[in-house]
Amino acid sequence: METITFDLDQHTLREVNQYLHSDAAELNGKTVTVANPNGSHNIAVGLKSDVNVTIQGHAGYYAAGMNQLANVVIEGSAGTGVAENMMSGRVHVKGFASNAAGATANGGLLVIDGDAGLRCGISMKGVNIVVGGSVGSFSAFMAQAGNLVILGDAGEALGDSLYEARIFVRGSIQSLGADCEEKPMDAESRQILVNLLAESGHQDADPDSFTLLGSARKLYNFHVDNAGDY
């Protein structure tokens, strides 16, 4: 497998991203390494090919945003909006992720080994997110579809205004948001959890130690008694 290295101490970020937007047939199956990222913003954004990208250090805002098909590994931590609006593929953050990780993402798998900040998975629309640590307040706010797995704790207002996404939490929950409630762990949900734990490298975690949360579906249609929750 061919490996190409860009060193951001010697190349510009524009050069890196222009190469990563080459014709998909030229990139499919290749491995691209980005050395000395130094927290640069917008690394590997909008990829549309089956390419493997390794960022050897910390990434800034919106790394791997709008990803399609690509496999992106960030060997450090990531700034705000990592994997925002991802459509498919896989993004793996080996450190921590700042606010709004996986925001509005439609598909694919986002794995965060450490903690994630506020609003992790906000308005997620089909993505699977696995967080090895804890998440901040208002995570999965208005989450519409997909699955958020949290192996640590969750902050305030988890799942506020939730639609049809599932949330699995192993640790403690500071508080639930409006219309989010605990659900019985049915066979389908348990299998989804088992599969995601395996895919993210947490296959040793006991699925029976997780709490399943979902929508109470009281906010789907306006009702004056619930006006304060809208």
> What tokens appear for 24 in the block?
């998909």
* CA 197 to chain centroid: 14
Confidence grade of residue 131 (pLDDT, cut at 50, 70, 90): very high
Q: What is the per-residue burial (b if ≥16 Cβ within 10 Å, else e) of 108-134?
A: bbbbbbbbbbbbbbbbbbbbbbbbbbb
> What is the bridge-based pairing of β-strands 211-215 and 166-169?
antiparallel
Give the Cα-Cα-Cα angle 124, 217, 214 (nearest 5 degrees): 55
Average pLDDT over residues 118-138: 98
What pLDDT does residue 3 have?
Answer: 86
Average pLDDT over residues 19-44: 91
What pLDDT does residue 26 have?
Answer: 81
Cα(230)–Cα(222) distance, integer angstroms: 8
Q: pTM (2 decimals)?
A: 0.94
What pLDDT does residue 74 have?
Answer: 98
What pLDDT does residue 93 have?
Answer: 98
What pLDDT does residue 28 have?
Answer: 84
pLDDT higher than threshold 70 for residue 150: yes
* pLDDT tens per residue across span 80-89: 999 999 999 9
Contacts of 14 (CB under 8 A, 6+ apart): none
> What tokens appear for 95 in the block?
């450190």
What pLDDT does residue 182 have?
Answer: 97
Confidence grade of residue 196 (pLDDT, cut at 50, 70, 90): very high
What pLDDT does residue 87 have?
Answer: 98
What pLDDT does residue 137 have?
Answer: 98
Average pLDDT value for the chain? 94
* pLDDT tens per residue across span 87-111: 999 999 999 999 999 999 999 999 9
pLDDT higher than threshold 80 for residue 225: no
> What is the bridge-based pairing of β-strands 211-215 and 180-183?
antiparallel
